[in-house]
Amino acid sequence: MRTLLYMVALSLLLQPLALVMAGDYPPFQALVDATKENETLIPPPGIYSGPVAIEKSIAIDGQGAVVIDGGGKGSVIYLDSDGVTLKGLRLTNSGDSHNDIDSGVQVRGNFNVIKDNVIDNTLFGIDLGQAENNIIRRNHISSKPVDIGVRGDAIRLWYSFNNKITDNIIRDSRDTVVWYSKDNLIARNDARGGRYSLHFMYAQHNEVIDNHYEGNQVGIFLMYSDSVEIKGNYIANSLGPTGMGIGFKETSDVDVHDNQILYCATGIYLDVSPYDPEATNRLTGNLIAFSGIGIQFLNDWKGNILENNRFKGNITQVTVGGGKTAKRNHWKGNYWDDYEGFDRDQDGVGDRPYELYGYADRLWMDVPYAQYFKGSPVLEVLDFLERLAPFSEPDMLLRDEKPLMSAEAVQ
């Protein structure tokens, strides 16, 4: 009987809260005010009204049975202190002001822990502004049910350093954004149904490790964000006109290694990157497969090192805009599933280089309106005829001196 009553009570907590005015719930602020510095607050199970302001070091443990309803105005919790722990809470029904960054939690302190919470029907999920050494872990975050462009960000970092964003589940929010922030760890998060799974702007020295980004418009995009490590991530189904797995805009000194980038409109997009002429970007050990374009260069650029990657099942392996080539980058030891060569000495490396040329399929790369016909039978026939009897010398897009014969040989 006790178990049945607990399940009934829990199901009531998880019902939509819009049927009851938030003002009818007891204010959670009163419980916070009655809690002394460095104490732990374990509230009685139930639904409480927000907003809540926390300005002292306390721990709040909702044990999965406490809901705080923001009443549709402002943020649910304003955290302006150090050393606070929030866990086991459901935070819901924030306001809808982008200017005020209405959120589940606004963090303006350091060394706080926000974990194991459900944050739903809030414009932004968790907002960190000038906040350092915080831990955001194992939260389930979703935005308000509005068009993707007017949702808030699931997690937003602004001038925030040395934070750990790990093991969160994000559904149907807009972006996770890292602005003017460095030395943060973003690891093992699962984000789906958004715009940018992860977007860096002027953010340096961050780590992106073992995340699962699927069904978003863009996987990871780096703008003016140097010295980032992107390792072991699974990025899939970034589709649409601007869909891409990983994108670079004037970004330098980035390591992209051991990622799986699958079923995207474009696997990797490079726009004037690396921007620093003294730097490189290093793309190694990645699987880039089953995409419309494997790697797309905006123009003839240099400074990228591409080694030990696997290119499989892409409609077009590499493209370069403006009638140029990608030869000025370093290509070595990649696996190309369209390689036409032999390995007579059985050393696992092709006997002759892999060379990729631009024939009639160059048309859709250089003429925007022709992109509508990409992959169509008309262009396929033109491409076949151009390869069979070219009217002019085709452009070599790239040359890999030591192509691998087997995708399994890539380390």
pLDDT at 301 over 70: yes
Please, are residues 234 and 213 in contact by the beta-carbon 8 Å criterion? yes
- Give the three-class secondary structure for 18: helix
pLDDT tens for residues 328-375?
A: 999 999 999 999 999 899 999 999 999 998 765 555 566 665 665 666
Please, are residues 221 and 200 in contact by the beta-carbon 8 Å criterion? yes
pLDDT tens for residues 48-104?
A: 999 999 999 999 999 999 999 999 999 999 999 999 999 999 999 999 999 999 999
User: Where residue 200 falls among pLDDT bands split at 50, 70, 90?
Assistant: very high
Give Cα separations from 20 to 16, 120, 321 (angstroms). 9, 17, 56
Residue linked to tokens 């722990």: 85
User: CA 294, CA 389: separation in Å to the nearest integer?
Assistant: 26
Residue 410: the pLDDT is: 54
Q: Which of 5-9, 86-90, 394-398 has the lowest mean pLDDT?
A: 5-9
User: Where residue 18 falls among pLDDT bands split at 50, 70, 90?
Assistant: very low
pLDDT at 385 over 90: no
User: Where residue 379 falls among pLDDT bands split at 50, 70, 90?
Assistant: low
Q: Which of 163-167, 177-181, 219-223, 358-362 has the lowest mean pLDDT?
A: 358-362
Residue 29: phi and psi, rounded to 5, are -60, -35
How do the domains of the chain map onto residue ranges? 2-409
- Give the pLDDT mean for 290-304: 93
Average pLDDT, the chain: 89
User: CA 351, CA 336: separation in Å to the nearest integer?
Assistant: 14
User: Where residue 9 falls among pLDDT bands split at 50, 70, 90?
Assistant: very low
Tell me which of 375 and 230 has the higher pLDDT: 230
- Give the pLDDT mean for 194-214: 97
- Give the three-class secondary structure for 75: coil
Judge if the upstream peptide bond of residue 274 is cis by omega within 30 degrees of 0.
yes
**Percent of the chain having pLDDT more than 70?**
85
How far does Cα 30 stand from its chain's mean position?
38
Say which residues have a Cβ less than 8 Å from residue 30's Cβ, sequence separation at least 6.
none
Residue linked to tokens 């040395």: 162
Retrieve residue 208's tokens.
């992106």
Say which residues have a Cβ less than 8 Å from residue 57's Cβ, sequence separation at least 6.
37, 38, 81, 82, 83, 84
Tell me which of 21 and 79 has the higher pLDDT: 79
CATH architecture of the domain with residue range 2-409? 3 Solenoid (2.160)
User: Where residue 161 falls among pLDDT bands split at 50, 70, 90?
Assistant: very high
Residue 371: the pLDDT is: 64
Please, are residues 49 and 31 in contact by the beta-carbon 8 Å criterion? no
Tell me which of 407 and 50 has the higher pLDDT: 50
Give Cα separations from 262 to 27, 38, 290 (angstroms). 48, 48, 6
Residue 358: the pLDDT is: 73
Please, are residues 206 and 228 in contact by the beta-carbon 8 Å criterion? yes
**Percent of the chain having pLDDT more than 90?**
77
- Give the pLDDT mean for 259-273: 96
What is the identity of the amino acid at 183?
A: D
User: CA 201, CA 177: separation in Å to the nearest integer?
Assistant: 8
Say which residues have a Cβ less than 8 Å from residue 322's Cβ, sequence separation at least 6.
299, 300, 366
Residue 409: the pLDDT is: 59
